[in-house]
Amino acid sequence: MDFRHVAPARVCEALRHVAARSSGPEIDAGLRITLNFHPDRLTGGVPILEAPARDGVYHSQFVTGTTNGGLTARPGGDRHRWESRIFGGVYDDAAADERPVYGGLNFRRQVVGAAPRFGSSHFRLTGPALARATFCHPDSAAEPTDFGVAGGTHLIAPAETDERDALDDYIRLGYRRTPDGRRAGGRGDLRTQGRFVPCTDIKRGRGAVADSWERARQVLVGAGISDGGLAEVRALGGGTYNTVEELRFTDGTRYVLKVAPTGPGLRYESRLLAGEAEFYRVAAEADVPAPRVVAVEARWMLMTVCPGEPWNGSLTDSEQAALRAELGRQVARLHRLTGPGHGYPSGALGPLAPDWRTAFVTMYDAVLDDARRYGARLPRPVDEVARTARSAQDALGEVTVPRPVHFDLWSGNVLVDRSAGDPRIGGLIDGERMFWGDPLADFVSLALLGDIRKDEAFLAGYREAGGRAEFDVPARLRLALYRSYLYLIMLTETVPRAVGEEQARRVRDLVAPELVAALDEIEELAAA
pLDDT for 246-291, tens place per residue?
999 999 999 999 998 878 899 999 888 999 999 999 999 999 999 9
Q: What is the pLDDT of residues 47-58, one digit of tens each?
A: 666 666 666 677
Give per-residue pLDDT as tens, 11-39.
Answer: 778 778 888 888 888 888 878 888 877 76
Q: What is the pLDDT of residue 446?
A: 97
Instruction: Give the separation between CA 469 and CA 174, rounded to whole angstroms.
Output: 48
Q: How high is the pLDDT of residue 236?
A: 83
**84-109: per-residue pLDDT in tens?**
888 888 888 877 777 788 888 888 77
Spatial CA neighbour of 479 closest among 396, 376, 418, 422: 396
Phi/psi of residue 414, nearest 5 degrees? -120, 115
In this prediction the pTM is 0.63
Query: Residue 19 in 3-state DSSP?
Result: helix
Confidence class for position 294, pLDDT limits 50, 70, 90? very high
Residue 348: band (very low, low, confident or very high) from pLDDT cuts 50, 70, 90: very high
Query: Given this model, what pLDDT does residue 213 score?
Result: 84
Amino acid at 252: G
| pLDDT recorded at residue 193 | 30
Q: 34, 172 in Cβ contact below 8 A? A: no
Task: Decide which of 134 and 113 is more confident.
Answer: 134
Query: Among 83-92, 212-221, 423-432, which stretch is predicted with the lowest mean pLDDT?
Result: 83-92
Considering 196-210, 214-228, 328-342, the range whose residues carry the highest mean pLDDT is 328-342
Residues 156, 160, 166, 168: is their CA dihedral positive or negative? negative
pLDDT of residue 92: 81
Note whether 326 and 425 are within 8 A (CB): yes
| Residue (of 446, 525, 425) closest to 478 by Cα position | 525
